[in-house]
Amino acid sequence: MRVSTELGFYNSSFVCFPLPKQAVGNSYTHELSLGTLSFSSMTEVPYGLYARLALISMTNLAFRSKESVITSFTLYSLLSELRYAKPTGKQLERFAHQLENWSSTLISLRYEEESRTSIQNLLLVDSAEFRLEKDLEDNMHVYLSLTEKGKDFLQKASFPMPLDALQKITHAFDFDTLAWLISSIYQVSKKDEPRLIAWPHLCNQFHITPNNFPRFKTNFGKSLFRVQQSFYPGAKIYRIPEGIIVDKSPLLTQERKSNVLMLPSL
């Protein structure tokens, strides 16, 4: 199996609590037994495939920068590096829109345990400016400053996604499925036996209401088959009536194993 050395880094918190797939206004709450994720935004809560790509771009920039401030990159260079060789105006517009959404969003993470409740509130971006400048590509220049807390969150709570998947996946649902598969196998790699992830847990994780359980099972099974065949053929997963069994498998990106932040226990 080919191991990609070109990576994008995705945040593990948004595997436990996937981002919305479509616009939900300027607030969003997602609850699971292991905690709650909530957003409030001055514009719109980040949503859809481009919101996930924008988050990866900010995380990649956080890894590259030695300082908290990241300045003077162009949308064209950022999106062409991550996904499109020659992004169109419409693609750049969608990408810019989701970067703007992230820049004005407050994230609240709440985890409850038997004797402790932990709450983390953070803004990823301290300030941002989007400026259209007349250069060779009539490009949009972005001046972005991450907060120290936001940069730390992006760096420490991340795991790698292969670049070929980021370039080819066209739906947020398939993106979330692959992120779930990669992170689940990282967790199982620390165990001595396979783990069963039951359907109710998966439905809750993907914010599915009870009425939509049957449809979700069908759609998730198809999505899991697509991303496994296309991007992670070495993944050992089995669908049974009770849920999905995840077995120990070759890690997709061996070079990042020691730096991956594990998700809460399955």
pLDDT digits (tens, 9 = 90+) for 188-247: 887 778 999 999 989 989 999 888 999 999 999 999 999 999 999 999 999 999 999 999
Task: Please name which of 257, 111, 243 lies closest in space to residue 190, comparing C-alpha atoms.
Answer: 257
Query: Tokens 């399955």 label which residue?
Result: 266
Task: Decide which of 160, 178, 208 is a domain's last residue.
Answer: 160
Question: What is residue 130's three-state secondary structure?
Answer: strand
Mean pLDDT of all residues in 62-69: 73
Q: How far is CA 103 from CA 48, 145, 161, 187, in A?
A: 16, 9, 23, 31
Residues 176 and 195 in one domain: yes
Percentage above 70 pLDDT, the chain: 88
Non-local (6+) Cβ contacts of 119 within 8 A are 108, 109, 110
CATH, residue 249: 1.10.10
Domain boundary among 160, 182, 206: 160
Count other C-beta atoms under 10 Å from residue 139's C-beta. Answer: 17
User: For residue range 128-183, what is the model confidence (pLDDT) as tens digits?
Assistant: 988 877 665 557 888 888 998 998 888 887 888 888 899 999 999 999 999 999 98
pLDDT of residue 228: 94
Asked if residue 266 is part of any domain, the answer here is no
Distance CA 174, CA 48 (A): 11
Do 170 and 193 belong together in one domain? yes
Q: Which two tokens stand for residue 48?
A: 């859809």
Helices 48-64 and 148-156: crossing angle in degrees, nearest 10, is: 100
Query: Do residue 181 and residue 223 come from a single domain?
Result: yes
Could you tell me if 146 and 62 lie in one domain? yes
Residue 6 pLDDT exceeds 60? no
Contact between 249 and 169 under an 8 Å Cβ cutoff? The reply is no
As for how many domains the chain has, the answer is 2
The range of the structural domain enclosing residue 245 comes to 164-259
152 and 249: one domain? no
Tokens coding 29:
């709450």
Domain boundary among 140, 160, 180: 160
Q: What is the mean pLDDT of residues 238-257?
A: 81
